[in-house]
Amino acid sequence: MKYAIFALFLLAFVDSLCSNSMGSDLSEGGTSKSWIPFKSYSRGNICQSEFEFASCTFNSDSLRNDSSTTSKILPSKISLLKASYTDTAKLVTLGLNSKEKRLDQLVIKNSFTKNLLGYFITFQPTSVVQPGVKSISYFSQFEGKKISSIRFIRLHPFGSSLFDTTVVASKWIEKAGNRLHMNTVKSKLGMQLLFKVGETLNPLLLAENEKLMRDLSFLEDVTFLVQTDEQNPDEVKIVIISKDKFEYAASMSLSSDNSDVEIINENMFGLGHRLNVGMAQKNAYLPQMGIYFSYHINNIFGTFINTTIGYSDTYKRKGWDFSLEKEFLTSLEENAGGFSFEKVSKYNHIAPDHPIELDTTLAYLSSDLWFIHAFTNPVSPQNKTLLSFRYHHQDFNLNREETLGRSQFLRDHDLFLGGISFTKRNLYKNNQIYGYGVTEDIPYGHYYELIAALDRSQFGTWPYLGLSLSNAFIDKGGRYYNGRLAMDGFLDNGNVKQGSILLSGNFFSNKFFALGDPCREFIKVEFLGGINRFNEEYLTINGRFGIRDFYASNLKGTKRLKFNFETVRYLKWNFYNFRFTNYLFTDFAFLSNSMNSIFSQNFYAGIGAGLRIFNESLVFKIVDIRFTWFPVSPPEGVSPFGTNLQGLTKSRFEDFLGRKPEGVRYQ
C-alpha cells in the first residue's frame, strides 16, 4: 500500500512538473507535439460594451501563432458575434448588464430593509424562453477554416460572469475568495484541447471538446468563441473562456450515532488534482476516530488517462483501492479502457457502489480490467460499432466452513465478458435543467449493446447473456425523451439465475413561466424485476430507490414499479451567487414478489415540496431542503411525514459514446 501511495504522489509530482514545463515552453514560443505553441502572452483591457469592438481587447492568456501582443475585436465581427446569440453558450460575449440590481420587483416598503437586501440580493434577467440549440450549429459556419491562434480567458470563481466578461468582483467576500483561489494553470487547460493551431476546424470536435471541458469538476463553465481573421478569411481565431470553481470545500455530518467530517480540494495547485481527506466515528461501538482519503489526477501528461488512489480505516470500511481509466471523450476516438484494484479487509457491502447491505462484515479482493475498440463510420463519425472485453475477478476471503463461504451470492469468481455495441451520439445545449444557469450538454442518440460472458466459480461455470437498448431524442420544442429496455441473467442447468428486466423512461419539458420565473416538468418511470435472484438480493422503495424520505427496513420485494413527477421553478434571486429553485413533487411505487400482484400489494406514495440551493462557483453539493407527506398509511413505525436536509450531487444525462460493459444494476 505504501509503495502505491508513493508511486501516485511521484506521478502527481511529475505531472505538475510537466504542466509547468509545458507552460514555460509554450509561453516562450516553444512547440509541443501534443498541444499548441504559446508565442505570446497578452493582457489588455476588457470591453466595456458589446458594441465597443473597435477599441477593446480581451484579458487573456494566449495560444498563438502570430507575433502580435493583443488581438482586437473589430467592427466587422459584430455580425459574427450577433449570429452567435442563437446559441446560449455564445451569449458570453461582451457587456450584458447582468449585475443590475432590480429591487423594484420586490414589494418592500421599509427603505432600510430594501437597502440591506439590495446589498446581498440581485435579480438576474430571465433568459429567453427556449435557448436550446444543437451543439455544432455555431461551429458549422466555420467548418474547414484553418485555426490560426487559440487564446484563453480565465475567469475567477467569484464576481465574474461567463455571460458578461466586464463584470468583476465588487464585494469584499468575493475579492477575498478570489485571493484564496489559484486559477487553473493555462498549460493544464491546454492539455484538455483536442485540436491545435494549424489544423482545420472540425465543428463536431469543437462541440465535443466544449463538453469535455465543462465536465471537468474544477471548472464551472466553458465556452469557445470563433472569430474570422480580418486579413485572411480562410483562417479563424479561437477564444476559450473558462470560469474556475472555488476549489476548497468541507462537509460535516454529526448525530448521536456517528460523525463524519471531510475536507476537499478539487483543484490542487491549479493542476486539476483532487484531494479528499476525512474522519469518521461510530459512537456506539467504535468510539475512536478513523481516517480516509483519496487522491485523483485528471488527464495525466495530456493522455486523458485519469488515476485515483484511496484508503480508509473507519467503522464503515477498511481497505484501499487504485484505478487507471480512459473513457471515450469524443466520437473520433478509437480506444477506451481501464484497470482497477481494490483490497478490503472489513466492509458490509460487496462493493462500494453495491446497494445491498449485509448483516456481517466481510473481506474481499477485487480487480477489474476492460477495453473497448471503436470502428467509426467514415461517412458519419457519430455512428460507431464497439467491440468490448472485460475481465473481473473477485475473491471473498472467508472461512470455507462458514455459511457465507458457501453462498452463491458471495462466491469467488472470474468473469470473462465480450460484447458488441452500436452507438450514435449527438449533443444539444441548454440550461436550467439539472443546474441553475451554467451551460448543460445533453447527449442524445442510441446505444444498443449485446453482451455474452462466462462466470467461473467454485459452483461451476455459468454462461451469461445481456441485452440493452437505449434511445434518447429531443423534439423541436426542446423536450427530452429517453427510454431503455434491458434484460440479462446467468444460465445454470437450463435455468435463468440472477436475471433482471428493466424498462425505464425519462422526460423533461421545455421551459414555461410561472410568476415570472422559468419552470420545467420532470418525469421518471421505471420497472425493475428480478428472476430467480438469491435470498440476499432484494428491492426496496426507500429514498432514491422509490419514494423520497420514505424508509421502511422490513419492506422488501423482487419487482418494483415507480413513478417520480417533479415541477421545478428557477428563482431569479442571487445571494452571493447562491441560486435557488423550489419544486413540488409526487412519488409513488409498487413493490411485490410477483408480477400478478404488483398492483395489489405494497403501494405507497409521497407528496411534497422542497427548496434547492445552488452555487455553481463552489464544489459543494447542492443543498436540498424537503418536506414530504405520505398519504397512503405507511407501515407501522414509519411516520406519515418526512423531512430531509441533505447534499445532492448534480444529476447526469445518459451518454451514448461507449462505456465499460456491465449488467443491469439490481438495486
Give the span between the Cα atoms of 477 and 23, in whole angstroms.
44
pLDDT at residue 256 tops 80 = no
Binned at pLDDT 50, 70 and 90, residue 649 comes out as confident
Average pLDDT of the chain, as a whole number: 80
pLDDT in tens, 84-95: 333 444 543 333
Q: In the chain, pLDDT over 90 holds for what percent of residues?
A: 52
Average confidence (pLDDT) over 508-521: 93
Where are the domains positioned within the chain? 34-244, 316-648
pLDDT, residue 409, reads 84
Give the span between the Cα atoms of 134 and 530, in whole angstroms.
39
- Of the ranges 62-76, 195-209, 417-431, 609-623, which one carries the lowest mean pLDDT score? 62-76
CB atoms within 10 A of CB 280: 21
pLDDT, residue 1, reads 58
pLDDT in tens, 358-376: 777 788 899 999 999 999 8
pLDDT, residue 355, reads 62
pLDDT at residue 394 tops 50 = yes
pLDDT, residue 14, reads 53
Closest of 262, 318, 311 to residue 286, by C-alpha: 318
pLDDT in tens, 604-637: 999 999 999 999 999 988 999 999 999 988 888 7
Binned at pLDDT 50, 70 and 90, residue 213 comes out as very high
pLDDT at residue 56 tops 80 = no
Give 589-650 as a DSSP string: EEEESSGGGTTTS-EEEEEEEEEEEE-TTB-SPEEEEEEEE--SPPPTT--SEEEEEEEEPP
Average confidence (pLDDT) over 75-79: 35
pLDDT at residue 17 tops 70 = no
pLDDT at residue 422 tops 90 = yes
DSSP, res 535: T
pLDDT, residue 112, reads 43
pLDDT, residue 7, reads 54
Average confidence (pLDDT) over 652-659: 91
pLDDT at residue 487 tops 70 = yes
Cell for 128?
A: 429567453
Give this prediction's pTM. Answer: 0.81
The 3-state DSSP class for residue 308 equals strand
Q: In the chain, pLDDT over 70 holds for what percent of residues?
A: 77
Antiparallel, parallel or unpaired: β 603-614 and 579-592: antiparallel
**What class does CATH assign to 316-648?**
mainly beta
Type of residue at 254: L
pLDDT at residue 24 tops 70 = no
pLDDT at residue 661 tops 60 = yes
pLDDT at residue 348 tops 90 = no
Give the span between the Cα atoms of 423 and 374, in whole angstroms.
10
pLDDT at residue 400 tops 60 = no
Compare 278 and 169 and report the one with higher pLDDT.
278
Cell for 307?
A: 488515476
φ, ψ at 631 (rounded to 5°): -70, -30
The single residue listed with the C-alpha cell 449527438 is: 426
Compare 661 and 259 and report the one with higher pLDDT.
661
Compare 628 and 648 and report the one with higher pLDDT.
628
pLDDT, residue 636, reads 80
pLDDT in tens, 281-311: 876 665 678 899 999 999 998 899 999 999 9
